Structure 1
Amino acid sequence: MLRISIISAILTFAMLFNSGLAQNHSIDSLNQALQKQESDLNRYKTLTELAIAYSDSNYEKSLEYWKSALNIANGLGKRELVANVYHQIGFSYMKMGEFKLSLENLENAGAIYSYLDSTKLYAGIQNDIGLIYRNWGKYDKALEYYLNALDLYRKIGDVEGIGIASNSIGQIHFYRENYPKAIEFFKEYLEINEAKGNSRAVAGASNNVASAYLELGKYDDALEYFLKSLHIYDSLGISIGVAIIQDNIGSLYFKQNLLDNALLYHQNALEIFQSLKSVTRVCYTQKNMGQVLLAQGKVDRAIDMFQESLNKAKEIGLKDVASDCSKLLSDCYVKTNNFQKAYSFLLDHITIKDSILNSETLQKIEELQAQYERDKKEQEISVMNSKLRAQRLTLLIATGFSVLLISLFLLVVFENRKKKKTLASLELLRKHIFQNISRNLCDLQLVINSYEVEGYFSAWWYGPQNKMYNF
């Protein structure tokens, strides 16, 4: 198993190296193009392309280009361009763990999208703001924004957006440890993106499904989805994705007590996250590495790793990591017989945990979930009623058409019968006329041949006015 892990790591490194060469070539071309651009609009477009080129490899560099693009967009006075850059800056800060700055920029973008009546883009902002509150451990607030996004996507019939919001709602269920429910939402997101052919989204959805299966102890199912996700990220050359999956596979090996394999995957992931300066992901991975070290009996190294993760988590407001690290540090100090520190960290864990999932928050989440279920049911009923109305209309049209055809058929039959009767009457009348004519002619001949009138008719026939001439 270890040999397989090492080969996988080597192949991953080779893929990243080759993709890095291709990316550098692309970036060099864009930088050369930027120097030649004369119009501000073309400079804006090139700057955004450069920002995107660095979006998965160097967050700070990407952010610099986005800020330069923002200056140009403001100068052009094009609000839709300004909103787009605010959105991207907000998302960049989110990946860096700068949640307050992220929220500020996302709200700026949202205000412009709302003014421009760009429903789809505004829904995306609602979903992204929900991600920030989720990272802050404010799950009720996060769910509120996710449901807003879902409602907006449904109103405009955006299937892909519905999938994104469903995935976000699934994450809330995941953090509430309702893993079967989380899988339902994650698989809905997965199916939508498979149908759309969105490879990157399929990779993300597969990772989420795998993570839920991992928590349920279904390791074979989890590994299947993790490898599916890893293959896609490898093929796309997305280093952040590769690192996330490696980190998660490390967690899978940890649960299977394959500690050396687990540590190798976590270490690979940590190096990529540190190169990207992704503080959020570094926090998670350091916590994961600390767990492996603790299981290996390397308590002092585990304490150092948990403490580093805890400090970063408190700095950026990552409550779920802070809660976990406090509990793990408590476990470490129990092993070293330092019960005072163990008790102190356990209290910290309980305090943070309660702030995340207090009774009021849970009630709010339940209310929002119930509202979501009601809205979903109402939408299903509405769709069903629409189908029934369509079916009734189709049946009505078909019935009317059938009645029309029958009426036309009966009319033709009636007209044919009427025509036949008329022809029959005409035939009888014709026969009657001919019979009368024949009878009258016979009567006339009898009259002519009668000796009583023979002279009269002969005189008239051969009279002066009808004189016969012989030649």
Structure 2
Amino acid sequence: MIGQDQRKADSLKSIYDANILVGEEKLDLLTDLAFNEVNDSKLSLKFAEELISLSVKSGNNAYLAQGYLQKGNASQSIGYLDEAITAYFKSAEVARIDGNRTLEGAAYGAIADVYTISDNHVNAMTYYKKAISILSKAKDTIPWATFLLNAGDALLTNKNYDSALTYFKESGALFEQVDYATGKAYNLGNIGMVYANTGKKDLAESNINEAIRILEESQDYYPISVYLMAMADIYVEKKEHETAITYTKRSLNLAKQYGLKEQLADANEKLASLYESVGDMPLSYKHYKDHITYRDSLLNLETVQQLADQRTNFEVSQKQIEVDLLETQKRNQLIILGFIGLLLLASLWFYWAISKEKKKSEKLLLNILPEDTAKELKVNGKVKAKQYDAVTVLFTDFKGFTSYSEKLSPEALVETVDHYFSKFDAIMEKYGLEKIKTIGDAYMCVGGLHGDTQDHPDRMVKAAFEIADFVETTKKDIATSELSFDIRIGINTGPVVAGVVGTKKFAYDIWGDAVNVASRMESMSEPGKINISENTYQLVKDKYACEYRGEIPVKNRGNMKMYFVLP
């Protein structure tokens, strides 16, 4: 957060350790420690919990509201987003009762920050506006400017560049008014991000570098890590990949040193893409595996979004239960055989039972992994990652699914998703394509793996049309009207690396720039439309009429040519 100073926290720890302060002086100390402790979020959380406890005992609502606010900040930094938002709401309520408008506004702004992280843009802007309104009336300049800045950042993330710049200019004027260096640094960095996304690379570079310089002086490392990644993107656009790698490594090292989980995931993903671009596949593979590890550790994000992939988890867990039961049956069979001896009848029965269960196990494995991958796993106990020069990747997702899913029980959510994805699975089988995974409401598949090198772009487009037709038919079906959504579809063709992740609950996955571009095609598509990249267009243009959309700005990619495939 703006205003944090690790040096101040370090200087206050000796006073805390001496344990000589009591009353409001102790509460003041704990507030400063919880707020300024940047490098150790768990220690910050400890100070906040102690502040809450002492405030409750002394009946001091002013410090109690501060305690909940700092607990929310520390929890958010660690990644406990569900605990963070609960603490912020408590802070807002206590501050409202106490008549502290500044703290109430700050708590609502912090709630908006969590919704931003959770990709809930509507709720985020609702609470930002509430916070800004309260803080502007309270005339508390720094918090007011801070949430103007954060609201602008949320608009930037959603590609509303003009609106974002308006918020940044307003927050920048307020930071200048009070000569607040850290706030000005954040503002410079975020304006640089706007320039980077609107093609003004030189302005972006100068703003971001100045922001990094100021932030290094105050040891505020999270934004530095973010801005270093932005600098990497600028150099990717300039085709200077080695310089981009250098900036990304700096971001990764900061994230490792200070436990910034989100940045650990993002920096590793960026390095995987960059090393693939320069042809270093071993390093690309290593960083992608690290990206998966850190991405999956952000479990509380799934709690807040309530969009965990319950259907896939259910399928895999059921298969794992069956496999575990089979293993138990085998062990029990061996014990029985030990008691009854090596009678011929028992031996024959044992052979028949094991053969039957073995076939069942193999069938279950084939439901999880492609056939040749399953064979390799059985023979070698592991699967070697393979590179494919050209595959076609498809992503889909449902418009409005997030808000709809929040109203459903987990059972109903799984049933709803299953209605669509079961049909998608059948379409994949019809066209000889490979389903890779589902992620919440997103569905991912690929064509062109395992020796399947012929006409996979054409088959993928045909499958995409069937998916779109099925979704449209479902919308018109009165019996299933509550399950109806609009779907976006994106397709790209290019090289990938494929392999198996995990040692117990195996997951077959693909990665590479082609996957990232396919995902971007989906996110830049429109409801009911099939959006394809230039690569795929060149392979299908003779078979399908396509509408050229122009060169469209894509996050972390610059401008990319896109086409809608026409029915």
Give TM class, smaller chain.
0.5 to 0.7
Partner residue of 1:236 out of 168, 171, 178 = 178
Q: Which residue of 1 aligns with 2:34?
A: 90
Query: SS at the partner of 2:142?
Result: helix
CA distance in 1, matches of 2:164, 2:228: 22
User: Which whole-Å deviations, capped at 9, do the CAs of 1:285-325 have from their partners, x for residues lacking one?
Assistant: 22222222222222112112212211221332211111111
Following the alignment from structure 2 to structure 1, what is the Cα–Cα distance between the partners of residues 290 and 80? Answer: 17
Structure 1 residues without counterparts, runs of 5 or longer: 1-54, 372-471
Structure 2 gap segments, 5+ residues each: 309-401, 408-567
Question: Deviation above 6 Å: which 4+ runs of structure 1?
Answer: 364-367
1:80 aligns with 2:18: no
Aligned to 1:381: none
CA contact (8 A) 2:82 2:304 kept: yes
The 3 A distance-change label for structure 1 pair 168 and 258 is same
> 1:45-444 to 2 correspondence within 5 Å?
59-60=6-7, 62-63=8-9, 66-67=12-13, 70=16, 74-75=19-20, 77-94=21-38, 97-357=39-299, 359-360=302-303, 362-363=305-306
> Hey, what's the Cα distance between the residues in 2 that align with 1:58 and 1:133?
18
SS of the residue aligned with 1:237?
A: coil
- CA change 1:264–1:161 in 2 (3 A) is same
Please state how far the C-alpha of 1:344 moved relative to its aligned partner: 2.6
Instruction: Please say which structure displays the higher CA radius of gyration.
Output: 1
* AA in 2 matched with 1:330: A
Asked if the contact 2:27–2:63 (Cα under 8 Å) also holds between the matched residues in 1, the reply is no
Deviation at 1:355, TM superposition (A): 2.6
- The correspondence of residues 21-32 of structure 1 with structure 2, limited to 5 A, is none
CA distance, structure 1, for counterparts of residue 280 and residue 226 of structure 2: 25
User: Which protein is richer in helix relative to its size?
Assistant: 1
- In 1: Cα distance, 2:4 partner to 2:82 partner: 33
Q: How far is 1:261 from its partner?
A: 1.1
RMSD (CA atoms): 2.8
Structure 1 position 157, deviation (Å): 4.9
TM-score (norm 1): 0.61
Normalising by structure 2, report the TM-score: 0.51
* C-alpha displacement of 1:350: 2.9
Measure the CA separation in 2 of the matches of 1:250 and 1:117: 46
Which structure has more relative contact order (CA 8 Å, sep 6+)? It is 1
Give the total of aligned pairs: 311
The match for 1:29 is none
SS in 1 for 2:226: helix
Q: 1:143 to 1:200 in 2, by over 3 A?
A: same
Identity %: 22
Q: Which moved more, 1:347-356 or 1:207-216?
A: 347-356
Task: Find the aligned partners of 1:58 and 1:92 in 2 and give their Cα distance.
Answer: 5
CA spacing shift, 1:58–1:158, aligned 2, 3 Å = closer
Q: Separation in 2 of the partners of 1:172 and 1:159?
A: 20
Of 263-272 and 98-107, deviating more is 98-107
1:128-187 deviation line (CA, Å, top 9, x unaligned): 121122122222222222223233334445443332221111111111122232111111
Distance in 2 of aligned mates of 1:231 and 1:157: 28
Q: Is the contact made by 2:132 and 2:147 (CA closer than 8 Å) also made in structure 1?
A: yes
